Amino acid sequence: MKIVSVCRVLPTPDHPAAGAFVLRRLEAMAGKAALRVIQPLPYLPIARPLPAWAHQDSHGAGQLSIEHAPMLYVPGALKWLDGRWLELAVFRRLAALRSAGALEAIDAHFGYPDGVGCVRAARRLGVPVFVTLRGMEVDAIRTRRIRPQLVRAMRGATGCITVSHSLRDLAVEAGVDPLRILVAPNAIDRALFRPGDRAAARRQLGLRQDARLIVSVGHLIAGKGHHVLIRALASLRARRPDAKLVIIGGSAYEPDHPRELQALVQELGLDGAVRFAGAVSPETIARWLQAANAFALGTEREGCCNAVLEALAVGLPVVTTPVGDNARFVADDANGRLVAVGDAEGTALALDRVLDRDWDHAAISRALPVGSWSDVADQVLEFMSARSRMSAGDTH
């Protein structure tokens, strides 16, 4: 198939870690189909101009060339218009590719605004369109002026692809025919995220061998619940004074939140017990996980949480919340504990219980039911091909 994928959240020279899991799926698909990738780049003249690199036609990320499509928008305002702005940003490019015979299906990532804009464009061009729901739709569908647009887009798409069963349920509740939905969870790199020698990993990272180390991975935004985990650590250290926490992740769209987290650490007297490792490479994340005794994430919202999957692949017991599909992968006492969102004391008790047990890391890793990115690409392409044929039949 000749597919054009559209997504705003992809790695850029300014944010090389953005959209890593979208990129991995697209890279796998590119090895099996004729794939082009277009990235709408939001800007506002004078107030928020395009960065210098965005004035080029494209940039490279991983194994892909990503084409640029400047997209007018107003930061922090008129968000219900973003679907229209995205449609305007990509339509001419898509129409030209359609005329040249280089477009047979549109592959949009995130329901809003990407999915909304691409479904509108596809309707004008008469081509199949697929929308992948990745988790942000949980908030978008609660927004009064965005909800009807998102619902129409999901219903109007040739097919919806969701990275979790919880997002499938969201689509079904919005009126999407279950037969037009594919659940395709994210994959992990098993060659990288696997059980390792904890002592060796700690030596590489310059860590003490006797500490009880908890690792968390996620952007420094309130929704990831790092503040809950910090409060949990303060309670946990009353019983386990050797417990330490490492938070891996960089700042995102809440620029003040990292300072708020650091202030909380100081307020609770946890200087030296909490370390902010910043945004690091997947290889370094894997090393931190191999060095850890447990993984924890107090997240408020997820689709398919790759941080949880990577920790389980390394063989770590996981303490997290039952949001998204977390409860499908984490079971109490089998490979960790589930705790309520926002429950710092419950998180502390769960961590205490997890740290008190000698876990079989190899068994935790083997039991994780997650395939490769190549497997995901095969699923997605087969679904797109079948749904496109059915859609063509419906029009005759």
Amino acid 395: pLDDT = 54
DSSP characters over 181-246? EEE------TTTSS---HHHHHHHHT--SSSEEEEEES-BSGGGTHHHHHHHHHHHTTT-TTEEEE
In a domain, 280, yes or no: yes
Q: Distance (Å, rounded) from C-alpha 394 to C-alpha 396?
A: 6
Q: Distance (Å, rounded) from C-alpha 214 to C-alpha 316?
A: 10
Shared-domain flag, residues 238 and 312: yes
Shared-domain flag, residues 6 and 97: yes
Which residues form the domain of 293? 198-366
Shared-domain flag, residues 322 and 379: no
Amino acid 76: pLDDT = 81
User: Residues of the chain whose pLDDT is less than 70?
Assistant: 393-396
> In whole angstroms, how far apart are CA 194 and each of 20, 47, 189?
19, 46, 9
Amino acid 252: pLDDT = 76
- CATH number for position 156: 3.40.50.2000
pLDDT in tens, 93-143: 999 999 999 999 999 999 999 999 999 999 999 999 999 999 889 889 999
In a domain, 336, yes or no: yes
Shared-domain flag, residues 78 and 208: no
Shared-domain flag, residues 172 and 205: no
Shared-domain flag, residues 231 and 377: no
In a domain, 192, yes or no: no
Shared-domain flag, residues 325 and 342: yes
> What's the one-letter identity of residue 107?
D
Amino acid 396: pLDDT = 46
Shared-domain flag, residues 104 and 221: no
In a domain, 52, yes or no: yes
In a domain, 215, yes or no: yes
Shared-domain flag, residues 38 and 182: yes
> What's the one-letter identity of residue 295?
F
Number of domains in the chain: 2
pLDDT in tens, 149-190: 999 999 999 999 999 999 999 999 999 999 999 999 989 889
Shared-domain flag, residues 362 and 381: no
Shared-domain flag, residues 42 and 147: yes
Shared-domain flag, residues 133 and 222: no
In a domain, 389, yes or no: yes
Contact predicate 94/125, CB 8 Å = yes
In a domain, 193, yes or no: no
